[in-house]
Chain A
Amino acid sequence: MARVYLDPITRIEGHLSIEIEVQNGRVTDAWSKGDMFRGFEKILKGRNPVDANQITQRICGVCPVSHGLASSKCLDAAFKIRPNKNGRLLRNLVLGANFLQSHIIHFYHLCALDYVDIKAILEYNGGDDKLLSVRDWVKNEVQIKANRPDAITAGGPFLPRYEGNDFYIKDKNLNWAAIAHYLQAFDIRMKAHKMVATFGGRAPHLIGLVPGGVTQVPTGAKIREYKKNLREVEKFVNEVYINDVIAVARAYRNYFGIGKFMNQLSYGVFEDDDTLNKFFLQRGAYLNGRVEQLNTALIKEHVQYSRYSSGSNLHPLQGATEPNPRKGGAYTWLKAPRYKDQAMEVGPLARVVASYLSNNEPVKSEVNALLKMFSADISAVFSVLGRHAARAIESKLICKHIWNWLDELEVDKPPRNSYDIPERGEGEGLVEAPRGALGHWIVVKDRKIENYQAVVPTTWFCGPRDDRGVKGPVEQALIGTPISDVNNPLEAARVVRSFDPCIACAVHVVEGDRRISSMKIL
């Protein structure tokens, strides 16, 4: 038996480490540890409610749009206003663009190096200028640095890496193509961020999200700028991204059976009409093989294994939580959220499963086509490859649907509804981040923030054991993963990365306030 530490898990957002126990070449136990804490909700108290929109975006630089929107929505509710039509559409447009940005960066820049052999570039003999220049760079690095004993590393940031005989793709052409796409994807994700900044003012950390909508008026020039970049991103998603996910799936078929986790939770996202109740991707809790209607009152957070000294098994709005960095037995800054006492996965897979079982036809047809290609049944989606495929499918469908929102925009018309900050108010804002379900809650008193809460995606899947000792989703998904070499546990890293963890998001203080608990929850 061996104890293996993956600290840090790189190529994710933030500070996460994983401890696993390996017996006979398989993971038999796992601990997921969030290693960073800042205390956002404490900082928010007593400030102007509208400041929350800017401050909460800084919870995470990869999904600031989702935090900005969750915050805007809970402010909308507290101020008793709704976005106008342009406001709703422009919010969808910036959020959709950031989903594309996030999914592309996740597959290419965060995960691809777990599958693609970057060293294959040394043998490149084709005619792509960019690849030739990278080849010459690597050669140059390796040669020159071999003679410099003080060289820190050669080939950074790509090397060094976990090494093993069967870790990386063998096919040279496939590797070369993937490396070319890795480079191209930098450009494409930047263009997706141009789309975000076009209507959001800047990216990351949008300046233009406000209660009632956004500040950027949709002028003809702005719409043209957005469309120009969308065309390029859409082409890449349909012609490159989807095919690369399929290529990785073909090369690593066994990962349809690795990283299994079943329970799924989605808040639903992209309001598709002005009732704000119709979603492009559906809402629901997948438990025991069927989708149930969402009820956020059923969320409880456990802290026995988290570094907090306060009460456990409480609704997030009822818990009083104080950090205790040296708490005995605790191993993470993440709490353990549970829905109906169950550990839940959130993210693209949850959205796809909820949509599929809610008879969302576009989602169904994409999923079925992919399953047919691999002669697999629906159970195969609850896996490492299922998560990657869900992101690709979602990207494709967003690219297609986003044009409708552009067409519906009222050009040069106001992008928002007005508001007054009330003396008192309460609000809930639910949205999906690229990596899963996100909720913000606010209480306003004397026109200031009395209490603010955020319950974020990564806490759901990277959280620790609950008070009963039941492991979190990532911990459960790791069990059974084959580990060929305990000194190079790449297989475990693949499972963790497939969830797209974002630790800056996941760690925060939830300040207790009895008043907020009386609020009507979905």
Chain B
Amino acid sequence: MAISRREFLKIMGGTTAAIAFPGVIIQGCKRALERASARTPVIWIQAQSCSGCSVSLLNSLDPDIATVVTQYISLNFHQTLMGGTGHVAINVIDEAVKKARNDYVLVVEGSIPTKDDMYCTLGMLNGHHVGVKKWVTDLARNAKVVLTAGTCSAFGGIPAAEIRANGDNPTGAKSVAEILGDNSKIINIPGCPPHPDWMIGTIMHLILKGTMPELDEHRRPKMYYGKTVHEQCEHLSAYKRGIFAQKWGDPGCLYKLGCLGMDTGCDIPRRKWVGVNSCTGSGSGCIGCTEKPFPDYGNRGIYKHLTASLDEINRIENAEIRQAVLNLRNGGSING
């Protein structure tokens, strides 16, 4: 069985994909997918992760995850799903390193600690715990593409956030690009978590077209991250009419509550989480999780205006919003 044109277009992101993938290519792809020998091996390594990206992967609607795993790819290693335990599991990636096959996709979920390998180990070789940094560098050497699933592996994310008192980080957590030192093989799929379509759609693009999708300056596929949340937001018309929510649960644009939709490349307002809701649609606002500065945003943090300094507030360009934030700061209710 192969992917239908409809579901293919859906995960590729609608109209732009229809231009990029004319029917004839899709037909050719169907045949490629049917050949098991050509099925691309995928090795998925979890480093300093919360497994949220893996759980999000399981939320794939169409195609569902069982179809992806049994028909589209050959998922050789994934700690959460694999049958093998202990050495039986570790042998799989040890063999993959030794066989030096060069056509697999390496997916990394989670950041990588650099202060000490003991901060994250995976398996034993010759009686010693193996730091996850070794697996990532060894497996990346021969991988065709390295895909970072989630903001932690793409940019460092929460494990790499700074300790506010001294700007340090507890474990020296780094992104995959910082570990490898060369980002030419990397496709970043940030998001905390990323939408399953972004992960599966990118892998499908690699398999079917044999090339990387078009990437932006942060090596994110433009087909998913090319437009901001704000441009696609459910509340865009409210914004244009100047209707702003003053507290959570109010109707209107969520900017004054600290929404980062204007600065964040992401298509969730259109794509929806598990097909039912979105960050902006649920009245919470965007927390900018697909962007590099997440979750620090300098000194700003996630929910901006609550602890903003006077200097910071005075730098807000829009006079109306600046006044609203000042009002919130001077008594009144803060964000609620």
Contact = CB atoms under 8 A, between A and B. Distances in A.
Contact of A35 (B53, B85, B120, B302): B120
A202 interface: yes
B282 A216 contact: yes
Contact of A217 (B60, B69, B95, B283): B283
A211 B284 CA distance: 12
Given A54-B302, A159-B83, A183-B66, A204 B46 contact: no
Interface in A1-37: 5-15, 17, 35-37
Nearest to B286: A207
A207 to B, nearest CB: 4
A325 interface: yes
Interface string B286-311: 01000000010000011100110000
B23 interface: no
Nearest to B116: A325
Contacts of A463: none
Contacts of B121: 15, 17, 35-36
Q: Size range of the interface on A?
A: 35 or more
Nearest to B272: A197
A64 interface: yes
A141 B70 CA distance: 10
Interface string B44-84: 00101111111110111100111001110011111111111
Contacts of A42: 163, 170
A309 to B, nearest CB: 13
Contacts of B64: 186-187, 190
Contact of A325 (B43, B118, B302): B118
A400 interface: no
B82 A156 contact: yes
B82 to A, nearest CB: 4
B48 A38 contact: yes
A322 B1 CA distance: 54
A273 interface: no
Contact of B249 (A12, A145, A205, A416): A416
B85 A190 contact: no
A37 B119 contact: yes
Contacts of B157: 58
A193 B55 CA distance: 10
B228 interface: no
A39 B287 contact: no
A157 to B, nearest CB: 4
A205 B193 contact: yes
Contacts of B99: 150, 152
A252 interface: no
B247 interface: yes
A10 B78 CA distance: 8
A153 B43 CA distance: 11
B80 A43 contact: no
A37 B171 contact: yes
A5 B36 contact: no
B86 A215 contact: no
B319 interface: no
Given A45-B164, A421-B334, A160 B84 contact: yes
A210 B303 CA distance: 11
A186 B90 CA distance: 25
Given A45-B163, A58-B52, A197-B277, A7 B282 contact: no
A401 interface: no
Chain B contact residues: helix, strand, loop or mixed: loop
Contacts of A205: 52, 192-193
Interface in B158-217: 158-159, 161-165, 169-171, 173, 192-193
Interface stretch (B7-15, B122-130, B218-226): B122-130
Given A10-B80, A203-B273, A208-B282, A156 B75 contact: yes
B31 interface: no
B22 interface: no
A161 interface: yes
Give the interface centre of B129, B268, B277, B306 by most chain A CB atoms within 10 Å. B277
B85 A38 contact: no
A207 B284 contact: yes
A226 to B, nearest CB: 9
B69 A326 contact: no
B299 to A, nearest CB: 9
B274 A35 contact: no
Q: Size range of the interface on B?
A: 35 or more
A313 B281 CA distance: 47
A279 interface: no
Interface string A443-459: 00001100000000000
Given A144-B37, A190-B274, A194-B274, A203 B336 contact: no
Contact of B81 (A157, A203, A493): A157
A225 B104 CA distance: 40
B284 A162 contact: no
Interface string A107-119: 0011001000010
A371 B321 CA distance: 63
Given A144-B37, A202-B278, A162 B336 contact: no
Contacts of A160: 83-84, 88, 91-92
Given A61-B53, A186-B65, A5 B46 contact: no
A419 B334 CA distance: 7
A9 B85 contact: yes
Nearest to A61: B52
Contacts of B276: 194, 197-198, 225
Interface string A44-62: 0111101100110011111
Contact of A144 (B1, B36, B281, B335): B36
B5 interface: no
Nearest to A56: B158
Given A152-B92, A194-B275, A7 B86 contact: yes
A158 B81 CA distance: 8
Nearest to B53: A61
B140 to A, nearest CB: 15
A15 B336 contact: no
Interface in A282-334: 307, 323, 325-326
Given A15-B121, A58-B158, 14 more contacts: A5-B86, A5-B87, A9-B85, A15-B120, A35-B120, A61-B50, A61-B54, A133-B1, A152-B99, A162-B85, A194-B274, A197-B274, A208-B284, A418-B336
Which 6 pairs between the two chains have the least Cβ-Cβ distance? Answer: A61-B52, A39-B170, A46-B164, A201-B282, A202-B273, A161-B83
Interface of B: 1, 36-37, 41, 43, 46, 48-56, 58-61, 64-66, 69-71, 74-92, 95-96, 99, 101, 104, 113, 115-116, 118-124, 129, 157-159, 161-165, 169-171, 173, 192-193, 247-249, 268, 273-279, 281-285, 287, 295, 301-303, 306-307, 333-336
